[in-house]
């Protein structure tokens, strides 16, 4: 990182999808559209500027077997920063990552506390594993620990059934979501299957992660209530390998996972076309590496979302949804600069020319 009195970003500044300006200035870490008078020691960055990218489903401090050491968590956050991800919605972590808030050289994080799962119904070492009678209490606890979000595991394989199934009874879900809302927190849930979604959406959930089971019958209700989805297509891409691994023991589950994978692009495009807000999330930190944000944007385009809207899903729209500014006057200067227009080809996101965090160029 290097400090400069004033930073001048010029070329094309994408303040919004249709709000393109020629330049911005960064003074004391904040964005300004007025050239500062008497500016000296000006550093110039040229190119196409976007607000710092958002990874709306990412895990910091989480590894394949649960919590990881602080130095590993730091590397995860640095990898995201290099990819241009400057705002993370952490979708569940067993680690205390509050120390990151004191580090102005690391991405900003909005936490959902720790995953809340039904007993033996999630990856070992990740979640609070509880029974429905404790759900409200745990939701209250994680709502207080987090930054305005709570994360439930809505469905998972039921080994006796040999297939995915919903984890919580309807009454428990209703009470839990009401408690989170009472505390000012939004609720999201991990859902692969179809049968967990109805109770969650009818109980007022705010977002669904993965949402591979979102079929035509429920799309209108999601759209009407403005329930967002974060598909994490780079994670869904691993379903065939998971299905292969579980084939001999759980053939029904394997076949189900393959079906969900096969229709993944249709699911996402149909949801988007119906007006359901779709955001970029990579699911990095469990089994997937960090830094995949560009790949996920490309996947949304492959699914049929127009490039500008796929970009919005990791920039303007995602920031508004999370209540964080973009490139507005006075906002913290978190931005990424590219060689060419990312609206013309989102693949440019894979190679940022410059990352600027808190007004400082990350070297
Ligand atoms: Zn996840």
pLDDT single digits (tens) 113-147: 999 999 999 999 999 999 999 999 999 999 999 99
Instruction: Give a yes or no: residue 1 inside a domain.
Output: no
Q: Residue 75 falls within a domain, yes or no?
A: yes
Q: How far is the CA of 75 from the centre of ligand 1 (A)?
A: 18
Residue 1 pLDDT exceeds 50: no
E strands present in the chain: 6-16, 19-27, 30-32, 42-51, 53-58, 62-63, 66-67, 85-90, 108-111, 116-118, 128-130, 149-153, 155-158, 163-166, 186-191, 207-210, 228-230, 335-338, 354-357, 360-362
Pairing of β 155-158 and β 163-166:
antiparallel
Residues 91-104 have a mean pLDDT of 97
Ordered strands of the 186-191 beta sheet: 128-130, 116-118, 149-153, 186-191, 207-210, 228-230
- Residues lining ion ligand 1 (Cβ < 5 A) are 91, 283
Considering only 33-37, 126-130, 176-180, which range has the smallest mean pLDDT? 33-37
pTM of the model: 0.97
List, for residues 212-249, the tens digit of each pLDDT value: 999 999 999 999 999 999 999 999 999 999 999 999 99
Q: What CATH code is carried by the domain that includes residue 15?
A: 2.30.40.10
Question: What average pLDDT does the chain have?
Answer: 96
Answer yes or no: do 315 and 270 share one domain.
Answer: yes
Q: Given the DSSP bridges, would you call strands 116-118 and 128-130 parallel, antiparallel or unpaired?
A: parallel
Distance CA 333, CA 43 (A): 14
Q: Are residues 93 and 163 in the same domain?
A: yes
Partnered with residue 207 across adjacent β-strands are 188, 228
Residues 317 and 330 in one domain: no
Q: How far is the CA of 328 from the centre of ligand 1 (A)?
A: 30
Residues 208, 244, single domain; the answer is yes
**What is the 208 CA–ligand 1 centroid distance (Å)?**
11
Please compute the mean of the pLDDT values over residues 279-295 and round it to a whole number. 96
CA of 209 to the centre of ligand 1 (A): 8
Give the distance (Å) from ligand 1 centre to CA of residue 58: 6
Distance 117 CA to ligand 1 centre (A): 13
For residue 151, give its domain range: 53-321
46 shares a domain with 81: no
How many angstroms separate the alpha carbon of residue 22 from the centre of ligand 1? 38
Query: How many angstroms is it from 128 CA to the middle of ligand 1?
Result: 14
Q: Are 308 and 352 in the same domain?
A: no
For residue 315, report the distance from its CA to the centre of ligand 1, in Å.
Answer: 20
Instruction: Judge whether 293 lies within some domain.
Output: yes
Q: How many angstroms separate the CA atoms of 265 and 272, rounded?
A: 11
Flag the least confident range among 29-43, 135-149, 313-327. 29-43
For the chain, what percent of residues have pLDDT higher than 70? 99
How many Å lie between the centroid of ligand 1 and the Cα of residue 125?
13
**Pair (162, 285) in one structural domain:** yes
């Amino acid at each position: 990182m290097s400090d400069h009195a004033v930073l001048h970003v010029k070329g094309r500044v994408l303040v919004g999808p249709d709000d393109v300006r020629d330049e911005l200035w960064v003074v004391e870490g904040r964005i300004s559209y007025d050239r500062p008078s008497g500016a000296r020691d000006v550093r110039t960055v040229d190119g196409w500027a976007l607000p710092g990218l958002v990874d709306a489903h990412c895990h910091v401090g989480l590894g394949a077997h649960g919590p990881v050491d602080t130095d590993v968590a730091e590397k995860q956050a640095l990898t995201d920063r290099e990819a241009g991800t400057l705002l993370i919605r952490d979708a569940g972590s067993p680690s205390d990552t509050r120390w990151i808030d004191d580090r102005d050289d690391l991405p900003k994080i909005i936490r959902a506390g720790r995953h809340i799962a039904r007993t033996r119904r999630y990856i070992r070492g990740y979640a609070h594993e509880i029974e429905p009678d404790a759900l409200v209490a745990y939701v209250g606890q994680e709502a207080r620990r987090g930054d305005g979000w709570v994360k439930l595991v809505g469905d998972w394989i039921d080994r006796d059934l040999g297939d995915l199934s919903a984890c919580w009874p309807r009454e428990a879900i209703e009470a839990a979501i009401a408690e989170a809302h009472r505390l000012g927190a939004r609720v999201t849930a991990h859902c692969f299957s179809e049968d967990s979604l109805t109770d969650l959406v009818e109980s007022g959930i705010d977002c669904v992660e993965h949402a591979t089971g979102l079929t035509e019958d429920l799309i209108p209700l999601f759209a009407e209530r403005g329930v967002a989805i974060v598909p994490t297509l780079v994670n869904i891409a691993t379903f065939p390998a998971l299905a292969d691994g579980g084939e001999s023991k759980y053939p029904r589950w394997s076949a189900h996972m393959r079906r969900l994978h096969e229709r993944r692009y249709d699911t996402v495009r149909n949801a988007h076309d119906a007006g359901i807000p779709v955001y970029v999330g990579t699911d990095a930190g469990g089994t997937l590496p960090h830094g995949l944000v560009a790949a996920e944007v490309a996947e949304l385009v492959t699914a049929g979302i127009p490039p500008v809207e796929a970009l919005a899903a990791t920039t303007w729209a995602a920031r508004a949804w999370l209540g964080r500014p973009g490139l507005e006057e006075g906002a913290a200067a978190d931005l990424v600069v590219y060689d060419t227009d990312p609206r013309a080809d989102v693949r440019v996101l894979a190679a940022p020319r410059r990352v600027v965090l808190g007004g400082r160029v990350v070297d």
